[in-house]
Amino acid sequence: MTVLAILGYVAAIVVAVITIWNTATVGCLRLGVWGALYARRERRRQTESIKSFAAEPAMVEIEDRFEE
């Protein structure tokens, strides 16, 4: 009987944690974290594309020199 009672308490705690996790406040915080991660990833991608674009004219010039 005690094992069933312990399992019942554990199940109640799990349900409570899931309910709290899905409330609006925590949901907004979660979305904010996901938004921040996405923005950081996007900034990194843009920085890499800017760097590769900035290096491109130099590469074209080097290729022209080797072709001569």
Mean pLDDT of 25-52: 78
Write down the domain spans for the chain: 2-67
Residue 23 backbone dihedrals phi, psi, to 5 degrees: -70, 165
The yes-or-no verdict on residue 42 having pLDDT over 70 is yes
* Type and span of the H or E element at 53: helix 24-67
Percent of the chain with pLDDT over 70: 66
pLDDT for res 6: 92
The contacts of residue 29 (CB under 8 Å, 6+ apart) are none
Q: Dmax of the chain from CA atoms?
A: 89
pLDDT for res 66: 63
Per-residue pLDDT of 5-37, as tens digits, reads 999 999 999 999 888 877 767 777 777 777 888
Residue showing tokens 């554990």: 10
